[in-house]
Amino acid sequence: MNDLSDAGFKQRQDDTMNGAKDNGRRDFLKTSLAVGLATASGAFALDLAASSAEAAGKRQLPKKWHETYDVVVIGSGFAGLAAAAEAAGKGASVIILEKMPVYGGNSIINGGEYNAWTDELHLREKHNLGDDSAETHTKDTLKGGDYYGSPELVEILTAGAPKALDWMIDEGGLKLRDVLNRTGGHSKYRTHTCVEGVGRGYTEALRKIAEHRGAKIRLKSTVSWIWRKDVDGPVLGVEVASGRGPVNIRAKKALILASGGFSRDVAMRQVYNPSLDKGYNCTNHKGATGEMIRYAQAVGAEAIQMAFIQLYPYADPETGILDAPAVYPFRGPGYGIVYVDEKGKRFVNELERRDVVSRAELNTGGKKTFSIFNEQMIGKMGTREEVEKGLARGRFVRAGSLAELAGRIGLDPAVLTETIRKHNGYLADKKDPEFGKNFTPQMISLEQGPYYAIAQWPAVHHTMGGLRVDKETRVLDIWGKAIPHLYAAGEVTGGLHGANRLGGNAIPDATVFGRIAGLNAAAEKA
């Protein structure tokens, strides 16, 4: 496995992004004339991925459309469902095409965390967790992405997050746990958790709204091309692979791409970030392969910040899975959880953002690290039922004392006991001389057991880069011009999160911009 070191990481990102952009422009200039000649007759489709007029000419525009809808949505996760719901709510006929045999994509297995600075339940005020605002959420998000994120897009995200959350509660029946977390990279307690503890709570709420408004979901529908005639014209529809041959579906008003990222495509992610080879596990479902980004590029779209690929530092070290137990280390920093390495020592400020924690883990030189918490913290991070199930599966380890816990997870009992003793003292003194953690009154001292541990290690998780969009979610071409009738939302897009996505920002990102895409698509003229 290649080392993801601090020294070369940023430079490789910058070099790869610049190189990919330059190569993309050169390829476009090389092929645009040939493609223009091939499409002059009106028989051929735009294909900027083709290397010659002959190759471009092999892809002909459909002679007939097998089906027609006002709005066609690709992907059935948070963004796709939100877009379909809003488009259908405006009277548009809407079909959601999902390539997998079940709906939801990565969204349904997401950790169930949603950042919003306020909500109609007033959880922050109810639990006396201090103040917050859209402006503070914006500042945290921009800082968390090293200021590579678009301030305009981030402001739309933070302003719209509470509204989208309340919408899912009111119309979708979403239920939230009676708790707010302060998670890595955030300065406030603003991370909401659905009662299910996984993304399914939100996808079910969105699916309910979308289907109630008339949107249809079609599974096992793999899109194999996007139809567009030329670089000035609108997107016309998509080609869908089937056992009977290609099926062409026309999008009268708009096509919305909500197909997610490319974390599962090792070759694609290594084009932009060579360090992320097959030695890394991945939290994503198997369908997160990024082909819709490539198809969009073939009809003129620009992709940006593709080298920014996030590791989730708390995945199962063996499988890379992001299950219910794997979210506890993410939820715990605001309530006093402690991370230790294989020597039993702390190695990072637990309130740091995901990329910092991941690099700190890799720099330990080990193969896993651990989160340590006690009985008092469980209600702040999850439920007793979740913990018991995790214990039965071996994901959590429980013991009556720290020394016993250390023995069960292969650490030196004396070292772990001393590490936690020191952390308890730091918490009491409100000062962390080792890592500078900012303690809050909500944090719990690890003075009493029973104690728990869970093993963790980085796995490829989220691709922050993707298609370039404007504030209306219109997909832009390489000249910054909106491609007519083409929209995108969610992880398929780039430019919002910057170099690092703060945990809990994915669901509001997808939902807020999915809603915008759906409303704008429905308003297009056929």
At 398-451, the pLDDT tens digits run 999 999 999 999 999 999 999 999 999 999 999 999 999 999 999 999 999 999
Residue 21: the pLDDT is: 45
- Quick check: 1 pLDDT over 80? no
pLDDT at 379 over 60: yes
Q: pLDDT confidence of 249, banded at 50, 70, 90?
A: very high
Closest C-alpha among 210, 221, 213, 228 to residue 485 = 228
Which tops the pLDDT comparison, 67 or 35? Answer: 67
**Token couple for 385:** 């039922």
Catalytic residue status for 354: yes
Beta bridge partners of 191: 115, 181
H-state helical runs in 223-353: 266-272, 291-298, 328-331
DSSP label at 44? B
User: In which band, very low, low, confident or very high, does the pLDDT at 52 lie, cut at 50, 70 and 90?
Assistant: low
pLDDT at 8: 39
| pLDDT higher at 9 or 20 | 20
Residue scoring higher pLDDT (98 or 31): 98
Which distant-in-sequence residues (6+ apart) come within 8 Å of 31 by Cβ? 48, 50, 51, 52, 56
**Helix or strand or coil: residue 291?**
helix
pLDDT at 458: 98
Residue with tokens 């969105």: 206
State the fold for domain 313-460. Answer: Flavocytochrome C3; Chain A, domain 1 (3.90.700)
Q: Is the pLDDT of residue 32 over 60?
A: no
Cβ neighbours for 79, distance < 8 A, ≥ 6 positions apart: 258, 489, 490, 491, 492, 510, 511, 513, 514, 517
Q: What's the confidence (pLDDT) of residue 85? A: 98
Kindly report, residue by residue over 350-365, the tens digit of the pLDDT. Answer: 999 999 999 999 999 9
pLDDT over 50 (residue 265): yes
What is the per-residue pLDDT for 360?
98
Q: What's the whole-number average pLDDT of the chain?
A: 92
| Residue ranges per structural domain of the chain | 313-460
Record the tokens describing residue 113, joined without a space.
């965390």
Name the percent of the chain lying above pLDDT 90.
88
206 and 138 Cβ atoms separated by less than 8 Å: no
CA distances, 430 to each of 79, 131, 436 (Å): 41, 20, 10
Q: Are 75 and 260 in contact (CB under 8 A)?
A: yes
- Whether 392 shows a pLDDT value over 90: the answer reads yes
Residue 471 in this model has a pLDDT that exceeds 70: yes
State yes or no: pLDDT of 6 exceeds 80.
no
CB-based contact 521:83 (threshold 8 Å): yes
3 state DSSP class of 340? strand
In 3D space, the residue among 206, 255, 226, 219 whose CA is nearest the CA of residue 92 turns out to be 255
**Band of the pLDDT at 229, cuts 50, 70, 90?**
very high
**pLDDT (0 to 100) of residue 50:** 81
Please enumerate in sequence order all residues whose Cβ is within 8 A of that of 207, keeping only pairs 6 or more positions apart, or say none. Answer: 76, 81, 103, 217
Catalytic hit among 354, 395, 398, 468: 354
H or E segment to which residue 7 belongs: helix 6-39
Query: How open is the CA angle 31-37-42, to the nearest 5 degrees?
Result: 120
Query: Please, is 166 exposed, middle or buried when counting C-beta atoms within 10 Å of its C-beta (0-12, 13-18, 19+)?
Result: middle
Indicate the pLDDT class of residue 243, thresholds 50, 70 and 90: confident
Average pLDDT for residues 157-185, to the nearest whole number? 98
